[in-house]
Every structure is written in structure tokens, then in C-alpha cells.
Amino acid sequence: MYAQHPQQQNALAQSKGSDAKYQNQALYARAGGSAAVSGAASGSYGAPPSAGNVAGTTGVHVSSNAGGQAMADGDSEALYQLMVELFSATNREQALAELSRRRDQNPDLGVALWNAYGVMTILYQEIIAIYPLLNPPALTMSVSNRVCNSLALLQLVATHEQTRMQLLKANVPQLLYPFLSTTSKVKQYDNLRLTSLGVIGALVKYDNREVISFFVVTEFLPLCLKIMDIGSELCKVVATFIFQKIIIDDGGFQYVTSNPKRLHTVLVILNNVVNQMVTMPSGRLLKSVTKCLIRLADNQEAKEKMQEGLSEHLRDSTFAHVLAEDVSYRRLIYQLLVKLT
């Protein structure tokens, strides 16, 4: 069902090389060697997906060369050593955890991960290796944490402006779709879904039409809507944010509103999300849902459907305490109700 992109197949094929060769090439890339950098830039070694926010900077200098960038000395030396440790089956789990913990130390770590020979292949393997544990559910918390650390590193690649579109053009985000299709509500699966959504959320937040088109064409929306409907609160928040970014784009908006059945499904799910918050409201989620409804009201058919079937909880005093505490939410609700008159 989840066909591998040719670049994904190339990446997996590369994993059959020797560890010693990979370590040498990774260090060569660190030093700015043209062979390693040009190979990584060409995509022949594969480059996995990622998304999320790179917070902060330590002021470490980043030097450039013909094919990409390599981080320089200081704390970056420790990060490079951890990248080399990824090639050891014995040390990989700890190296993934430590790299994930330190991912905010250098804003260009994502570029270094992308360009270092073989590193992206390892992250691919970490993701693909747990597919058999998804159905029937057999994922342990330790394995889930390990994969989430890999996804956190992919997040850096997806966030960086130099690698974001390369990752997308390689169809790599589709590697995460099997995680999003899981339905088990135990924590290890919820963490997996949340971290995967973080990767996709980082990609869509830049309002790039090509990015939105990718997620429309690859049938991501059904997975997103399902999580909005039955996911945990945090997963709902991120999934609704992603959906909001998709329909802000004209292409995504047209896709959702041009099909009456699809539009009906979307409106039902948004109402469900609101109704589920009656006993445990979430200000963040309420605002995201309201923004989605405001945007959908730009379509006449959607507007008419909402005039008839909008959840009464958005009209009455159910969320009065949220309205009282959050001025921005009051403005959104007012905007929605005015738009539906």
C-alpha cells in the first residue's frame, strides 16, 4: 500500500555498505570533503523527512562549501561524534536519544544530518523497521521512544530552509503515513502519531503551495481528519492546525469544498471536535477549529450547511469561561457568527 519512492529504495540499498566506509564518509562530509557532500546533495544516499521547529541558536559558526554546509568546531564536534555513533548498532539508540536531546544546540544540525553520508539511510531504517509492530499492535514504549527520537531529527531536516523542499520532493513524508493510520490509544502509539504530525506541521506552516499540493495529492487529509476526530487532545491540536493550513491555501480549499460528500465529512468532524470538548475544553483547539470554520464559510455551500448545522455549543454559553479568558477567541467567535448571518 505504501509504495517506496525510488530515492527511498536507493537509500535502503546504500545501507548494505560497510560501517567503516560510512564512518569515514561521515567524517569526510564533516570536514567538507567534496565527494561526500556532492553525493549527499545529489540524493543518491537518500534523505529522510522531518519537521518541527528548531528553537534557539548557540552562535556556532557554520561554514559553507560547494555542495552544502558543515558545522564547525566547539559543541558541534560532540554532535558529529554522536552522528558517527549512529553507525554502531550497539551505540545507535543512545546516540539517537542524545542527538534528539541536543537538537537545539545548532540551527544547522538538520543540514549536517542531511548531507552526512549514510545518516539519512539510518533514520529511514529506524522508521521502516517498526512497520510490522503497527498491526497488530506490538510496539513497546522503549521502541516508540527510539523512533520518536529519529523523527525529532527528521524534524530538523524538514524545518531547515535548505533541506525542506528536497525532503518533500523525495516523497519522504509518506513514510510517516503508516504511523498516522494507527488507532491504538496507548501512549506509545499516541507519541508516534504526535511526533509524526509535528514533522508534517513544520512543513505546512510556511504556507508553500507546493507543500500543500503534496499533502492533498498523497491523500493525507483522511488521516488528518481521523486524528482530529478520535486522537488525543495534543494530536487533535496539531492535526487541526495542519488542516487549517491546508484549507488556507486556495488549492487545498478547492479540494475540500468542491466535493459535497467530502465537505459534509469535514463539517461533521469539526462539529464532533467541538462537541467532544464540552466536558474538557481546550482553548487552543477551539481557536483552531473556529479558524477552520471561518475559512470554510467562504464557500457558499459550506456556509449554508453551517447555518443549519453548526454546533450549538459555539453559539451558547458552553465555552463562556474560555471566551472570558481569551480575547482573541472572542474575536474569532464573533467573526464566525457574523459571517454566518
Question: Which residues have a Cβ under 8 Å from the Cβ of 88 and sit 6 or more positions away?
Answer: 19, 95
Where is pLDDT greater, at 15 or 166?
A: 166
How many beta carbons lie within 10 A of that of residue 327, not counting itself? 9
Name the amino acid, one letter, at 283.
G
Residue in 167, 146, 145 with CA at minimum distance from that of residue 156: 167
Calculate the CA 284 to chain-centre distance.
Answer: 18
> Cα–Cα distances in Å, from 41 out to 72, 115, 196, 325?
19, 6, 24, 50
pLDDT the model gives residue 12: 40
Distance CA 174, CA 176 (A): 5
pLDDT the model gives residue 104: 87
- Mean pLDDT over the full length of the chain: 83
Show the cell assigned to 21: 566506509
Q: Calculate mean pLDDT across residues 256-278.
A: 97
Split at pLDDT 50, 70, 90, the class of 73 is: low
Q: Which phi and psi (to 5°) does residue 154 adopt?
A: -60, -30
Burial of 18 (0-12, 13-18, 19+ CB in 10 A): exposed
- Whether the pLDDT of residue 303 is over 60: the answer is yes
Q: Calculate mean pLDDT across residues 180-192.
A: 96
Dump pLDDT digits (tens) for 104-127.
888 899 999 999 999 999 999 999
- Whether the pLDDT of residue 45 is over 70: the answer is no
Q: Calculate mean pLDDT across residues 320-337.
A: 93
Q: Calculate mean pLDDT across residues 195-222.
A: 95
Termini Cα distance of the chain: 45
Question: Which residues have a Cβ under 8 Å from the Cβ of 209 and sit 6 or more positions away?
Answer: 249, 251
Split at pLDDT 50, 70, 90, the class of 63 is: very low
Q: Calculate mean pLDDT across residues 171-200.
A: 96
Distance CA 57, CA 108 (A): 9
- Whether the pLDDT of residue 92 is over 80: the answer is yes
pLDDT the model gives residue 53: 35
Calculate the CA 202 to chain-centre distance.
Answer: 6
Show the cell assigned to 52: 518541527
Minimum mean pLDDT range among 2-16, 182-196, 197-211, 217-231: 2-16
Show the cell assigned to 277: 470538548
Q: Calculate mean pLDDT across residues 23-27.
A: 46
Share of the chain above pLDDT 70, in %: 78
Q: Are 229 and 264 in contact (CB under 8 A)?
A: no
Chain position carrying cell 506509545: 188
Split at pLDDT 50, 70, 90, the class of 75 is: confident
pLDDT the model gives residue 74: 55
Q: Calculate mean pLDDT across residues 21-41.
A: 39
Whole-prediction pTM value? 0.79
Helix (H, G, I), strand (E, B) or coil at 64: strand
